[in-house]
Structures are given as C-alpha cells and as structure tokens.
Amino acid sequence: MKKEALDIIQKSLEGLTATWRMDALPDIEMEVPKNEAMGDIASTVAMRLSKLLKKAPRKIAEEIMAEINKKLSAPAEEEGPCVFDKIEIAGPGFINFTFTKEFFLQELETLLRDGHSLLRTDMGKGQKIQVEFVSANPTGPLHIGHGRGAAVGNALCNILKAAGYDVQREFYINDAGLQVKLLGRSVHARYQQMLGNEVPFPEDGYHGDYVESVARELEKHSGTAYLNRSFDECGGSITEQAYRMMLESIASDMKDFGVLFDRWQSEKELHGQGKVEQALDALQAKGLLYEKDGAVWFRSSQFEDDKDRVVKKQDGEYTYFASDICYHKDKLDRGFDAIVDIWGADHHGYIPRIRSVLEAFDLPKDRFRVILIQMVTLLRHGVPVQMSKRAGTFITLREVIDEVGPDITKFIFLTRKADSHLDFDIDVAREQSAENPVFYIQYAFARISSLFRQANERRVFNTEHRQLLEKTDLTYLKEDEEISLIKKLLHYPMVFEGAALTCEPHRITYYLQELAGLFHAYYYRHKIITDDTGLTLARLSLCRGVKIVLEEGLGILGVSAPERM
RNA sequence: GCGCCCAUAGCUCAAUUGGAUAGAGUGCCUGACUACGGAUCAGGAGGUUGGGGGUUCGACUCCUCCUGGGCGCGCCA
C-alpha cells in the first residue's frame, strides 16, 4: 500500500529534478491520514520541498500531480486491476491517494497467501545487534521494575528479529562488586541467628525474607558447618552459594515470565579473564587515560560527557565504570553492528559516559541506543505499595506473575511508552473483565478460532488454509466494515516499521487494540457463517487475515494467542 | 545550584518523529442478547494539550522563560 504510492511519487519526482535543478531526491514520507475522507495514504513531500524550492507547497503538489497523471495515462506495463481510485491535492499541499477496492482485495489475498512473512521486513539486513536488558544485581529477587524491563526488552528483541536483524539477548550480571558480598554477609548473619548464634545484622544488609530462605537452604545443604564461624572464615563459600541461588531464582523467574536470554555475561568473569585491564590498555593506547590525584581517569569529556571519570581508584581498585568500559568494548569485539542497552530511568546520567566509551572505540553514534525504563508504581486497592529492596518491602515479579499471570503482566508493561511512569493496578489486572485490554485482543483471536471450529463442525466447508484460499472469491466482501478491516490489516507493516525504527513496542499494543475493536464491531454487525457459501468463505478468509495479524502482533509482544479462553 | 525526563478529557494514557477537525480505554449517562463465544456492540457528555513568548505554509511535538512533579549529579555498585 505504501509501496505503490511511494513508487509513483518517486518516479514523478525523477522527472522533475531536472526542471527543479535538484541533485538528489528528498526523503519521501508517507502517512496514513487520520480521517478516511482524506484518502488511504498521503504524502507530505510537496510541503517539505517548499522551503528548498522556495515555492508554495500547493504549486509543487500540482507539478507533481501533473507528472503523476502523465505516468498513469501511459499504457500499463503490467496487467492487473487499477490501483488508484483517485489522487488529489488537499489542504496545504498533501497529495492524497485513494486505492480501489480491487487493490485492497488483491492485497488481502497476498496477506492470506504469504501470511506472516509479509508482515516482517528486511530492514536490518542481517546486521548483528545486541540487546542487553534486565541485568539485575543477583542480590535479591527480581521486582516489578525488572519485569517491565524484561517485557520491553523481550518485545523489542522480537521486533528487531522480525525486522531482519540478527539479535542477541543478553543479561549482564553485576556480580563483582560489594553488593554481592553484602548479600553474603546478610545470609551469614541470618544463618547464625537462625541457629542460635546472636550475631549483629550488617548495617546496610538486605532485610528481605528471601535472605532467610537462602539461609535455610544453606542449612539444608551444609548443616551447621558454618555455625559460630566468622564471615572472614567462611564468607567466601557462603557468598558463592547465596549468589548461585539468587541467580538461579532470577533465571527461573525470567523463564516463567516467558523471557529467554541467549547469553548471561558475568562481570566477575570479565575481571577474571583480564579483560578489564585490556580494555583500559586499549584506551591508554589511544591516549585517553591519565593520572591525577593518585587515580586513573578516562577523558570522557573529550566526547559526550561533561567531566572525566575515574576508572582506577587511589587504592588500586577498578571502579564500576571500568567494568562497564570493558563490557561495552567486549560487545564491540564480539562483532555487533549495533548495541541497545535497556536501563532503569534512574541510570540516565550514565548515558554520556557510556556513549563516550563507545565513541572512543569507534562505534558510530547512531549505532548505540539506550532505552530507559521508567519506574512502575504498584497499586493495591488503589493505594501505591512502597517498595525498598534494602528494607525488604517490595512486590516481586514472581508474586505478580503468580497472581495475575505472565500474559497480562507483560501486556500491561507494554501499554505505555517505556520512558513514562506506569501505574500497575494489581486489582484491575486480576479482574478478568473488559477493563483488561489483554482479554479484548485475545478474545478476538479466540472468537475467530471459534468461527473456524463452527464452520468445520456445522458445515461441509473445508477451511484448511490453502483450500479455503483456492475456493474463495473475495469480491463478496462489500461492506464498509469489511473494507475498513482490510485497510487496518494493511496498516500493520507500517506500524511495525515505526515500532522497529523507534524501538517502541507499545505502538503494536495500541494497534492490536484498534484492530480487535474493528473486528468485534464487524462481527457484531455481520454474520460470518451464513447460508450463502460464497459470502461465508469470503468472510472467513477476512477473519483468517485478522487472525494472522493478531497472532503476529501478540507474538511480537510475547503474549499468547489462545484458541479458546 | 547544574543536568536529564515528564505535564494532553474526571482518571490512566496515545497521537504516524513538524501534518489536515488532538484520539483510545476507563469512569459517568443512554441504548442493544430468541445471536457464529455479551469477556461483545451502538450512541452521548467530557479539551484554551500546565502558563507566557518565539521559529513557519503548519506546533502536543522544535527553541526560550516560568510553574509544578520525577530522577540523576561519588575515587558507591
């Protein structure tokens, strides 16, 4: 749909570049007008050229129109139905295209024949792209904020993959720092206390119930082996075990949430392999490190950052930033063409320094992108639940999944732009009612599935996909609702392209709600399975089209498409 | 104090990267089941896009100032 209009404009512009004395063609943007009366797709190219050509946009549009008419009146090279019903200039200089019904039916047929492959693109051209997300400290269970990051990251990876990128999903484990040690201390103290040795609890220790669970596990495995022994004596082993358990629980949470990673990268391992030093050496070789006040600094202010950053402290220890330098260099060394980091919004201050690192290692600016995930406020009985990881008062992702299910949870996380606050009302999410938009979409899918069951059971139609296609005459589709529904289906590739370009999965969420809405309205107003076999087959085919797109979209979001509910 | 993000219908949020008359859901009001799944559908009310100024053919979108919120600003991780 976009392609046809784009082609004709492009060809017309080619004929005009000489008279306009232009070297190159401008980017031609196409958009779907809000109002159906303004046609099916519109180009703003005349307005955009106005500044450049110093001419009124309408005048430019008229010149383009004249050229278009010339092309269209030329004898058609290919056979087939007429594509354009009308093309007209409107408003300040829009060129509006209205397609013929025959064209829409032909496009629907293509969708039915090619199915999902038509809904994907090759924008990425096989480029390797890495998406790092969740990357939680293994010092406690995942909370709801991690869940949002996981849902967005997962959907984004699905989008990029469908857009032709070679995607790698990675979880970075911050296991090298003091936080993990603090977990070990906390578990050590709880373990002692549990067995009657009243040691004080670490000042900044983790207070969550899970620390006691870990201590109990420890006792199950090792009995009283660590009792009455100081942290200095046995802390290493305890920390290691506690860390393993946390990591396993995180991995199983992700698995049950339906989010899988290709790779888990340990920070500690990077240190162990000497890669941190190597990364710093590489910066040194570029003359980007210097010593001051007994510490080693990175000249990040030469790039995007407002000041230089310490990478090696006075005491000789590396900073966390040094690990990050190393990690991002490692990503580049692994041959990725582009890198996406998904972080909590509270880390936004780190963007300039990481950007600096990647620039220092010669990654072009536009090949790195940070998606910020804004905070989630959990509401229970309409009241925000305060959360603190240290104090141990927080709702875990596990609890939410168990309570409302992974599909709904994921979907709700994807109903907002990533970078805006999200209220997660757990009572609404639990209600399996109309208030819950997931059901609205899934219900449309289940309804269509039910139609096909009905058709197979009650009638003699063979609705097996290929046979349905062969027997169907789509020209039976004449109702306004049917044409609107077809148009909506054909919008999907544009919505998808937009989502991929901007890395915004929520666009697909909104689209699916609109599509489901049109379907429900159509279904309510028109009977699908009627006594008229030709009409029934055509309508079932349209439903099949809706089903294909719903399935594709839900799949991208990581939400299931149930045949029955 | 400096920097980043946000402010849109009563509430929660969209708005095709600067496009035409700013849209959904929910809530409220009114209607539709002898129905292929009513977990649905139709209609109504609801707005000076926080405020002022600017940029241009055109601004919710970009610039600037103000107001009000969130988050950052460590040789912590």
User: Is residue A288 included in any domain, yes or no?
Assistant: no
Q: Of A99, A118, A148, which residue sits at a domain end?
A: A99
User: Is residue A393 included in any domain, yes or no?
Assistant: no
User: CA A132, C1' B76: Å apart?
Assistant: 23
User: CA A280, C1' B58: Å apart?
Assistant: 51
Residue nearest to nucleotide B16 (CA to C1'): A31
CB count, 10 Å around CB of A200?
A: 9
User: CA A224, C1' B47: Å apart?
Assistant: 68
What's A346's DSSP letter? G
Residues A189 and A93 in one domain: no
User: Using CA atoms, how far apart are residues A260 and A527, in angstroms rounded to an integer?
Assistant: 41
| pLDDT given for residue A36 in this prediction | 84
User: CA A521, C1' B43: Å apart?
Assistant: 14
User: Using CA atoms, how far apart are residues A175 and A362, in angstroms rounded to an integer?
Assistant: 28
| pLDDT given for residue A72 in this prediction | 84
CA-based torsion, A459, A462, A468, A473: positive or negative: negative
Residue A168, Ramachandran bin (φ over 0: left; ψ between -120 and 50: alpha; else beta):
beta
ipTM above 0.85, yes or no: yes
User: CA A207, C1' B62: Å apart?
Assistant: 48
User: Is residue A315 included in any domain, yes or no?
Assistant: no
Give the burial class of A41: count Cβ atoms within 10 A of its Cβ; 0-12 exposed, 13-18 middle, 19 or more buried.
Answer: buried
Residue whose structure tokens are 């009366």: A37
Residues A451 and A544 in one domain: yes
Residue nearest to nucleotide B56 (CA to C1'): A51
| pLDDT given for residue A244 in this prediction | 94
Q: What's chain A's length in residues?
A: 565
Residue among A492, A485, A489 at smallest CA distance from A508: A492
Amino acid identity at A453 = R
Closest nt by CA–C1' to A564: B37
User: CA A356, C1' B2: Å apart?
Assistant: 20
Q: Of A99, A115, A141, which residue sits at a domain end?
A: A99
Q: How many domains does chain A have?
A: 3
Residue nearest to nucleotide B17 (CA to C1'): A502
Closest nt by CA–C1' to A37: B20
Residue nearest to nucleotide B5 (CA to C1'): A419
Residue among A373, A400, A387 at smallest CA distance from A150: A373
User: CA A239, C1' B48: Å apart?
Assistant: 61
Residue nearest to nucleotide B72 (CA to C1'): A349
User: Is residue A509 included in any domain, yes or no?
Assistant: yes
Residues A192 and A85 in one domain: no
CA-based torsion, A91, A94, A95, A96: positive or negative: negative
Q: Of A190, A210, A236, which residue sits at a domain end?
A: A236
Residue nearest to nucleotide B19 (CA to C1'): A44
| pLDDT given for residue A51 in this prediction | 81
| pLDDT given for residue A148 in this prediction | 94
User: CA A60, C1' B54: Å apart?
Assistant: 28
Q: Are A330 and A278 in contact (CB under 8 A)?
A: no
User: Using CA atoms, how far apart are residues A45 and A31, in angstroms rounded to an integer?
Assistant: 11
Residue nearest to nucleotide B26 (CA to C1'): A435
| pLDDT given for residue A518 in this prediction | 95
User: Is residue A153 included in any domain, yes or no?
Assistant: no
Alpha helices by DSSP H, listed for A405-505, are 406-413, 426-430, 437-458, 465-471, 480-502
Closest nt by CA–C1' to A437: B25
Residues A445 and A553 in one domain: yes
pLDDT in tens, chain A (565 residues): 888 999 999 888 888 888 887 777 777 889 999 888 899 999 999 998 888 888 888 999 999 999 999 888 876 656 566 899 999 999 889 999 999 999 999 999 999 999 899 899 999 999 999 999 999 999 999 988 899 999 999 999 999 999 999 999 999 999 987 889 999 999 999 999 999 999 999 988 888 889 999 999 999 999 999 999 999 999 999 999 999 999 999 999 999 999 999 999 999 999 999 999 999 999 999 999 999 999 999 999 999 888 999 999 999 999 999 999 999 999 999 999 999 999 998 899 999 999 999 999 999 988 999 999 988 888 887 777 766 655 656 788 999 999 889 999 999 999 988 988 888 888 888 876 656 789 999 999 999 999 999 888 876 566 677 777 778 999 999 999 999 999 999 999 999 999 999 999 999 999 999 999 999 999 999 999 988 889 999 999 999 999 999 999 999 999 999 999 8
* Helix (H) or strand (E) run with residue A270 in it: helix A267-272
User: CA A142, C1' B54: Å apart?
Assistant: 47
Residue nearest to nucleotide B71 (CA to C1'): A346
Closest nt by CA–C1' to A423: B12
Closest nt by CA–C1' to A44: B19
Order across the sheet with A383-384: list the strands.
A383-384, A376-380, A422-425
Q: Are A197 and A204 in contact (CB under 8 A)?
A: no
User: Using CA atoms, how far apart are residues A392 and A409, in angstroms rounded to an integer?
Assistant: 22
Token duo for residue A310: 């310490």
Token duo for residue A297: 């600094």
What's A345's DSSP letter? G
> For chain A, how far is it from start to end, CA to CA, in angstroms?
34
User: CA A30, C1' B59: Å apart?
Assistant: 20
Residue nearest to nucleotide B73 (CA to C1'): A349
Residues A82 and A190 in one domain: no
- Secondary structure of residue A383 in the 3-state scheme: strand
Q: What CATH number did the domain enclosing A87 receive?
A: 3.30.1360.70
User: Is residue A498 included in any domain, yes or no?
Assistant: yes
Q: What CATH number did the domain enclosing A477 receive?
A: 1.10.730.10
User: CA A544, C1' B34: Å apart?
Assistant: 29
Strand B: which nucleotides have any atom within 7 A of a protein Cβ?
3-7, 12-17, 19-27, 36-37, 39-42, 56-58, 70-77
Domain containing A201 equals 178-236
User: Using CA atoms, how far apart are residues A316 and A294, in angstroms rounded to an integer?
Assistant: 9
CB count, 10 Å around CB of A71?
A: 13
User: Is residue A68 included in any domain, yes or no?
Assistant: yes
User: Is residue A252 included in any domain, yes or no?
Assistant: no
Residues A76 and A186 in one domain: no
